[in-house]
Each structure stands twice: as structure tokens, then as C-alpha cells.
Amino acid sequence: MTAPSRPLIVLFGSSIVQFSFSNGGWGAILADIYARKADIILRGYAGWNTRRAVQVLDKIFPKDALVQPSLIIVYFGGNDSIGPCPSGLGPHVPLPEYKENMRRIATHVKNLSEKTRAIFLSCPPLNEEWLRKSTSSAVSEIVRTNETCRLYSEACKEVCREMNLKVIDLWTAIQQRDDWDEACFTDGLHFSSEGSKIVVEQILKVIKEADWSPSLYWKSMPTEFAEDSDYDLVAADGISTLNPSDWTFHREIQWD
């Protein structure tokens, strides 16, 4: 197999990433927006915290890969923020360690290549009541609050400021909608299609405004095999064809 000609965009994180192709998720929306422009690759691991992520960085993103991602979108923090279990088991990661793990992830990603870009997503809020009702009885009590989500969101933003990285403040962005706590989640934690639209809007805004060369803004990227063809649909005049390569009429939202 030859190396892919399209840029690679990798989504890396926990369940908010793994589930991002379900229920009109933000990963699926990005894959549609970047159709024939870039390949969206899913590297989501439900239940993971930053401890597990740093253990496999070299396997997920080998430094000697022939082709490195053009963009990596990273989300970790929700599971790290869960309250500690007396046994020492579970996903909780103390805030100082979380920050150090995020630095390690960021350093690894930044060093993959000169052209590899990164966007980090901070911890979003949650609907605590919905989450309590939707949590399986097979799981021990999960202490997960909006206050701890806020603290881990701030920690993610702090690390990104230190390292001059792009970061999206999902804690704030989600709450800009008045009915966010009901409209943006499927279970109080994972994004509904409405929540995912906010995530996509924020990601596209960052990419559009970034001073990156080459640009990864979807409207600025070439469309694969976009040349006119005699095999395209025949126009109403019967003597010309219509090139559908960049048609977007099928989209519910005409993204910028």
C-alpha cells in the first residue's frame, strides 16, 4: 500500500472521542466535512484516563511512522476527574499528575513532525442528575461533579497556555446554550447531536483562524480527484456536465 495522499486528522481521547461517530457525533460530522480532503482517524478509548494514554503514546503515535498526522485533536480529563476510590482502583488521577500527563501527551504530539498540529479539548460540564440515573448498578458509586470538571478544564487550559497550544474551552462553550444540560447530552455525560454541533463549531473556528501552513481549514484544502469529467451528471443544456465534487446540499448545517 502506498502512503496516503490525504492529510491525516486523528481524534485521540476517551469515550467522548470513541463515541464521536455515534448519534450524529462530532467525529462523524468532521468526517463528512473533510470528505475527499482529509482522513479522520478515530483513536478513542472509553474509560481511559491520562495514565493509560501516556503508556501507549509510542504505539498510537510512533515517532518513526512514514506518515505523521497533520492534526491531532486530544481529549482527556473527564475520567481523571472522577473522585478517588478507597481501594486505589479506578480512573481518578490527581490534578497535578493530570497536568503532567497532559504535558507529556502534548510534548509527544508536538515532536512527531514539524507539520503536526494539535488542538486540545478541555473537560466539558455534565448533567449530574442524568448521569446518576444513567449509571449502571454494576458500577460502584461514581463521584463526578461539575466542580471537578471545571477544575480539570482549567488545568487543561493552563497546560496549553504554557506550551502555546490550541485549546477549546468546552466547559464554557457548551454552557453558552441556555438548555445545555438537557440538549447537549445523551446520558448526562456523552454528547448528543446538539452537543456535538457545538464541538464541531469550535473546532472549525480554531482551524480557520490558525496561522498554519499548509492550512487545514476545509474550504482551503484541495478536493481529491475534483477534475471535471465526461462521466459527471449531464446538465440541463444536454451538452455540459455538472461536477459534484464539492456539493454540500446534503448537510443539515452549511458549516463555515
Distance between CA 20 and CA 17 in Å, rounded? 5
Is 42:15 a contact under the CB 8 Å cutoff? no
> Does 187 qualify as catalytic in the annotation?
yes
Q: Are 44 and 231 in contact (CB under 8 A)?
A: no
Sequence-distant (6+) residues with CB within 8 A of 223 are 36, 37, 245, 246
Residue 86 · residue 141 · CB < 8 Å: no
- 87 alpha-carbon distance from chain centroid: 32
Catalytic hit among 14, 70, 81, 153: 14
Is cis: bond before 214, omega within 30 of 0? yes
Active-site residue, 190 included: yes
* Cβ count within 10 A of residue 39: 17
Catalytic residue, from 80, 108, 169, 190: name it: 190
CB 63 within 8 A of CB 114: no
CA angle 210-216-222, nearest 5°?
140
Catalytic residue among 15, 39, 134, 187: 187
For this structure, is 80 an active site residue?
no
95-110 and 146-162 are packed helices; what angle lies between their axes, rounded to 10 degrees? 40
- The catalytic site residues sit at 14, 187, 190
